[in-house]
Amino acid sequence: MIRNLKNQNRPELKDSLFLGFCAVFIVATRIALRLHLKIPGHAMFFTLFFLFLAKGCVRYRLSATYTGLISGLIAVVLGLGKGGPLILIKFILPAIVIDISAMLLPGLFGSVFLCVLVGALASATMFFNTYLIDYLAGMDSSLIFQHALIKSICSMAFGAVASLFIPSVIRRLKAFGVI
């Protein structure tokens, strides 16, 4: 009888592998796009795309958070970006926003408007990360606020654009029987 009960506290193996692949794709795109485009927030495009894809394809409560945690740990181990272990916050905060939004908005992945709204909100968490890193670096408080605001606005734009594609991608994956 115990074997018949399925453990709902953790995802299945195929779901865990999918989340791991999404995490690796997030880090791979960050490594590949280490171009100095002089556009703040451009890395948020692929980060949010794969976080949304992880949450939309895997029906586990914390799938985006797990993907963010895995990709953040990989980024810390590889030493990507500035901030040391605080890089982990860059990946976890948007993922938490996506998970909470998916719990509160059941039709999230079917609506382009809701995806754009949640994508912009998840990207806005860049403000807290930038503010914390600049504060710990000892910058002036008025300069910290302006820098964090500019980075978060640009991140919000890239996050909103990335989330535009999610409803159609998930609809096609369902049509082909992938999910």
What are the pLDDT digits (tens) for 55-109? 999 988 899 999 999 999 999 999 887 778 888 999 999 999 999 999 999 889 9
Please indicate, yes or no, if residue 145 is contained in any of the structural domains: yes
Confidence of residue 160 (pLDDT cuts 50, 70, 90): very high
Average pLDDT of every residue of the chain: 89
Provide the CATH number for the domain around residue 138.
1.10.1760.20
Please indicate, yes or no, if residue 3 is contained in any of the structural domains: no
Give the distance from CA 12 to its chain's centroid. Answer: 21
Please indicate, yes or no, if residue 129 is contained in any of the structural domains: yes
Position 127: which residue type?
F
Please indicate, yes or no, if residue 1 is contained in any of the structural domains: no
Confidence of residue 7 (pLDDT cuts 50, 70, 90): low
Domain range for 57: 13-175
C-alpha–C-alpha distance, residues 140 and 104, integer Å: 38
C-alpha–C-alpha distance, residues 28 and 147, integer Å: 26
Please indicate, yes or no, if residue 4 is contained in any of the structural domains: no
C-alpha–C-alpha distance, residues 152 and 154, integer Å: 5
Helix, strand or coil, per DSSP, at residue 88: helix
Burial 48-64 (b: 16+ CB within 10 A, else e): bbbbbbbbbbbebebbb
Please indicate, yes or no, if residue 112 is contained in any of the structural domains: yes
User: By the 8 A CB rule, do 7 and 122 touch?
Assistant: no
Domain count, the chain: 1
Please indicate, yes or no, if residue 85 is contained in any of the structural domains: yes
- φ, ψ of residue 165 to 5 degrees: the values are -85, -15
Confidence of residue 122 (pLDDT cuts 50, 70, 90): very high
Higher pLDDT pick, 52 / 40: 52
Please indicate, yes or no, if residue 28 is contained in any of the structural domains: yes
The predicted-structure confidence for 21-36, as pLDDT tens digits, reads as follows 999 999 999 888 776 6
Confidence of residue 8 (pLDDT cuts 50, 70, 90): low
C-alpha–C-alpha distance, residues 161 and 49, integer Å: 9
